């Protein structure tokens, strides 16, 4: 199944190969274009099913995801689990649960997101949820591209592929003279 999902991710341009500048400032030979999966409802349904099936026995009453990608995924996972869907929006200190969403201490929440890199948005979402006193059953992500990050609850990844990253000075792709691409920009920039 892992190979099948990898082939799907490549076919739809979600998983790209090349020479990329990551937001961390590091370089990598692969990049996940998460909106190439989020724009395909059928693909979202497929990946969400893996998360929903994994966590169905946990009996979540709410699925929560951080904006923007996590909110789309939360909606689809909640649809499959027949639970409510809420979103965690950015705040000045991290994430907040607004929009009049009601969460009680009796609720059991499944936290979802698109791509796990450092886990920052997931941790901020969990912090906002913990303030409500509700229980958290676990975390589900479509794509785990980390080499392992510390999270306070069990993690399930529909697809996992750790990315190699390089400091610019040690990047073999730079040394090979490959043009560097900034994801989200169509042009490629020359190495200085």
Under the phi-then-psi rule, with left for phi > 0, alpha for psi from -120 to 50, and beta for the rest, what region is 143? beta
Q: Which helix (H) or strand (E) holds 176?
A: none
- Helix, strand, coil percent content, the chain, rounded in steps of 5: 35, 30, 35
By CB under 5 A, residue 88 contacts Zn ion: no
Q: Which is nearer to Zn ion, 20 or 55 (CB)?
A: 20
By CB under 5 A, residue 137 contacts Zn ion: no
By CB under 5 A, residue 129 contacts Zn ion: no
What one-character-per-residue DSSP string does 98-115 give? -TT----TT-EEEEEEEE
* Segment contacting Zn ion by CB under 5 A, of 21-29, 72-80, 123-131, 155-163: 21-29
115 is in an annotated binding site: yes
* Segment contacting Zn ion by CB under 5 A, of 24-32, 37-45, 88-96, 148-156: 24-32
Contacts of residues 96-103 at CB distance under 8 Å and 24 or more positions apart, as own/partner, are 96/128, 97/64, 97/128, 97/129, 97/132, 103/62, 103/129, 103/132, 103/134
Least Cβ distance, residue 28 to Zn ion (angstroms): 8
Site string for Zn ion, 152-191 (x = CB under 5 A): -------------------x-xx-----------------
**Residues touching Zn ion, count (CB under 5 A):** 4
Which of 5, 27, 97, 142 binds Zn ion (CB under 5 A)? It is 27
By CB under 5 A, residue 14 contacts Zn ion: no
CA distances from 13 to 43, 102, 115 (A): 12, 38, 15
Least Cβ distance, residue 143 to Zn ion (angstroms): 22
Q: How do 165-166 and 27-32 pair as beta strands?
A: antiparallel
121 is in an annotated binding site: yes
Q: Which is nearer to Zn ion, 151 or 174 (CB)?
A: 174
Binding site for Zn ion (CB under 5 A): 27, 171, 173-174
Binding-site residue positions for orotate: 117, 145
């Amino acid at each position: 199944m892992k190979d099948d999902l990898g082939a799907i991710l490549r076919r739809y341009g979600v998983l790209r190969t090349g020479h990329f500048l990551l937001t961390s400032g590091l370089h990598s030979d692969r990049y996940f274009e998460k909106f190439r999966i989020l724009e395909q409802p059928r693909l979202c349904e497929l990946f969400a099913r893996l998360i929903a099936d994994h966590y169905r026995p946990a009996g979540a009453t709410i699925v929560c995801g951080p904006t923007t990608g996590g909110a789309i995924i939360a909606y689809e996972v909640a649809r499959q689990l027949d639970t409510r869907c809420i979103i965690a929006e950015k705040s000045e200190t991290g994430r907040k649960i607004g929009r009049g969403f009601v969460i009680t201490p009796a609720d059991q929440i499944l936290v979802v997101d698109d791509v796990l890199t450092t886990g920052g948005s997931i941790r901020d979402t969990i912090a906002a949820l913990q303030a409500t006193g509700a229980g958290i059953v676990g975390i589900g992500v479509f794509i785990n591209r980390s080499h392992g990050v510390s999270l306070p609850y069990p993690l399930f990844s529909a697809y996992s592929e750790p990315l190699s990253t390089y400091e610019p000075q040690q990047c073999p792709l730079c040394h090979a003279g490959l043009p560097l691409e900034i994801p989200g920009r169509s042009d490629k920039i020359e190495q200085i």
